[in-house]
Chain A
């Protein structure tokens, strides 16, 4: 074999920040380094993930018995509202922005994002969102109780009569999060369009970058619609306009249009980066090029386009005219085509590959299997007759949790494990990682699978008490929910201890083929000693072609067995 050395050159630079964690203080500063900001995003949002998870476990504790006995019904309403809002606005969005922040400039061979200071400002808005959102527990009347979608007229109720009430704080939090997301969207799109390394044409750009681009384009065209709706809702609550208030002649259904015009594509904002992660992780751990790379890359953009015209499928039961139902049923089902293309591409990638069941690979495969299931129930829900039958039942809850936890959170975990050696220069403990995967996968199935039969039987969502006939499925789901809570413990233990004492594994432990692995681990400030000149496309496994022309760079060697069997 005439393979090229894969070690990145050990550059010694006079860098202000040597590797982590000896310099952990920099994560608490207003840093403009995209790698610091990325980790700030990931860690901060994981903290909110734990808070949102605590809310959900209180709810699962309440639902373990048919009666509303653990918490008051109003508290339960506040809990599901806050659970949804925290998980979406403070965990899933920001953690994916964090991963994108860390990886996109490295993957496209840029020194930083296009607007580093704007990037830092976007991040520091996230704690503000968290404070606004959670401080609503302290105001009289408590947090918003209208669910994460805040439909009027429920969200227009203001029993305390105060100007500063839970609903207003919720809108303000969402508005700040929206500003942060728009700034992030502008930053990502500019970076990806204009900062790619010399020679990195569009079809040499990794699939993850494509998916982040597709997701951020959705933010740019979709989020303003939600902003518009939120402004009108805020005016209705605070100064008494009548946009959405039916008793004053307003039209509450219009809010639903504004809300879902963004919030359905928002699902793709979250799931597209997860798709990108699968597309990156599978080739590395199966030692094969990504099958159908160009089609997979282009299908991300196709999802962006189609997602702009699917939103009414959330409103089949909102007195929607039948021509509209049929139209949006068809467009919603169209999304299955690009998603299906991706799944076929992933399966073909691992087919006949030298698969190594490392933790990131397990999470990626688990995520894809869950995505397949969630996609199929998604087709159910896009179909008008079934949707009207299961509208507002646990079937819907089960479906979107399979998307969000089963596919997206698993993808996030896969990314964190896969790029952990990149971010820290150290390897995580494989045993703890596998334990984490087993608990997560089992917990996901136990929690969210029972919601489907319960929903088909007619268990409505957002209720604190239910008929005895649903008890069986609810008890199983609650046990699974606690298991999911438990599953974060080995993860936290693994991350903290590996970052401090994990084995140092050099710059490219996975023998991966990509620009981000060409530089040192953790990368220095400004990433590259010399900007790489890209001379071939990504995923060159088994091709013995250099990736860049101007610095020594990876060919491919055998994947070392020792990495899959680590002492933990």
Chain B
């Protein structure tokens, strides 16, 4: 067979350079793939919230009797403290991640624990607020959307705390985070995501009354 390869020298050399770069990229960057995939997943997940937000806006602007009888609005003071706690926990988990990056495991554990405590405080505050409310999820569209949005977000906060617990546990396995820590990065990204969603949610439900 007359193996005629078009411009063998030039194209092949080019190709080999490309190969060295890309193969390295492809076969040793599984964590990069995971990160890319996780971000794609989070973007997709955010559309669920976006559709809930869109539904909330439509309901709020078109419903004649928005508040159930006896309700005039939502208390904003305690939810605001809650918001501050949740948003600042995003910075705390970032510090934890930096500690892990510098291979300082105890700093990582400490700040991760603080994040978990702040997340738990948020959930506790949410539960307290739910208990004190004079309406339920069957109280018209206002009650339904309120519990849908806060409940669905609360589930995400709970998931975030569970993920953090998992990461904390894994830090006690010897050498677990020596070769990269995609799990921690994903947990952290997820936590930031949950925070950003909450800021939009807080604006929609509590600020816009």
C-alpha spacing A73/B33, complex, angstroms: 52
Cβ of B81 under 8 Å from chain A: no
Could you tell me the distance in whole angstroms from the C-beta of A348 to the nearest C-beta in chain B?
A: 26
Determine the residue in chain A with the shortest Cβ distance to B143.
Answer: A241
Query: With A235-B148, A261-B51 known to touch, is A223 a contact of B44 (CB < 8 Å)?
Result: yes
Query: With A186-B40, A189-B40, A531-B23 known to touch, is A232 a contact of B5 (CB < 8 Å)?
Result: no
For window 329-360 of A, CB contacts with B under 8 Å fall at: none
Determine the residue in chain B with the shortest Cβ distance to A242.
Answer: B144
B3 CB contacts on chain A under 8 angstroms: 4-5, 552
Cβ of A264 under 8 Å from chain B: no
Query: Considering only CB atoms and an 8 Å cut-off, how many residues of chain A contact the other chain?
Result: 54
Cβ of A383 under 8 Å from chain B: no
Report A172-183 CB contacts with B as 1/0, cut-off 8 Å: 000000000010
Query: With A5-B1, A241-B137, A251-B62 known to touch, is A190 a contact of B19 (CB < 8 Å)?
Result: no
Cβ of A27 under 8 Å from chain B: no
Cβ of A187 under 8 Å from chain B: yes
Query: With A4-B1, A549-B15 known to touch, is A115 a contact of B6 (CB < 8 Å)?
Result: no
Which stretch (A14-22, A45-53, A139-147, A192-200) binds chain B? A192-200
Cβ of A220 under 8 Å from chain B: yes
Most buried by A among B15, B34, B46: B15
C-alpha spacing A261/B147, complex, angstroms: 24
Query: With A224-B48, A225-B47, A546-B6 known to touch, is A242 a contact of B140 (CB < 8 Å)?
Result: yes
Which of A186, A533, A549, A552 contacts B44 (CB under 8 A)?
A186
A241 touches B138 (CB 8 A): yes
Query: With A4-B4, A224-B45 known to touch, is A195 a contact of B138 (CB < 8 Å)?
Result: no
B36 CB contacts on chain A under 8 angstroms: 190, 193-194
Cβ of B52 under 8 Å from chain A: yes
B47 CB contacts on chain A under 8 angstroms: 220-222, 224-225, 228
C-alpha spacing A2/B23, complex, angstroms: 32
Cβ of B141 under 8 Å from chain A: yes
Cβ of B11 under 8 Å from chain A: yes
Could you tell me the distance in whole angstroms from the C-beta of B159 to the nearest C-beta in chain A?
A: 14
Cβ of A568 under 8 Å from chain B: no
B14 CB contacts on chain A under 8 angstroms: 199, 535
A249 touches B51 (CB 8 A): no
B48 CB contacts on chain A under 8 angstroms: 224-225, 227-228, 231
B141 touches A243 (CB 8 A): yes
Cβ of A550 under 8 Å from chain B: yes
For window 111-156 of A, CB contacts with B under 8 Å fall at: 114-115
Could you tell me the distance in whole angstroms from the C-beta of A7 to the nearest C-beta in chain B?
A: 9
A186 CB contacts on chain B under 8 angstroms: 37, 40-41, 44
B45 touches A251 (CB 8 A): no
Which of A182, A189, A549 contacts B5 (CB under 8 A)?
A549
A453 CB contacts on chain B under 8 angstroms: none
Cβ of B165 under 8 Å from chain A: no
C-alpha spacing A249/B141, complex, angstroms: 7
A535 touches B15 (CB 8 A): yes
B40 touches A249 (CB 8 A): no
C-alpha spacing A137/B15, complex, angstroms: 58
A228 CB contacts on chain B under 8 angstroms: 47-48, 51-52, 55
A189 CB contacts on chain B under 8 angstroms: 37, 40
A250 touches B141 (CB 8 A): yes
Which of A114, A199, A232, A544 contacts B37 (CB under 8 A)?
A114
Could you tell me the distance in whole angstroms from the C-beta of A286 to the nearest C-beta in chain B?
A: 23
B15 touches A199 (CB 8 A): yes
C-alpha spacing A197/B19, complex, angstroms: 8
B65 CB contacts on chain A under 8 angstroms: 249
C-alpha spacing A194/B4, complex, angstroms: 31
Cβ of A413 under 8 Å from chain B: no
B132 CB contacts on chain A under 8 angstroms: none
C-alpha spacing A249/B60, complex, angstroms: 12
A220 CB contacts on chain B under 8 angstroms: 40, 43-44, 47
A2 touches B19 (CB 8 A): no
C-alpha spacing A533/B22, complex, angstroms: 10
B199 CB contacts on chain A under 8 angstroms: none
* 9 smallest beta-carbon distances between A and B, as pairs: A224-B47, A228-B51, A198-B22, A549-B15, A241-B144, A533-B15, A190-B37, A5-B1, A224-B48
List 10 other contacts, CB 8 Å, given A224-B47, A241-B137, A243-B144.
A198-B18, A198-B21, A220-B47, A224-B46, A235-B137, A239-B137, A241-B138, A242-B140, A243-B55, A254-B58
Show 11 A/B contacts (Cβ-Cβ < 8 Å), sorted by A.
A2-B2, A194-B25, A198-B19, A198-B21, A199-B15, A220-B44, A225-B51, A239-B137, A240-B138, A249-B141, A261-B51
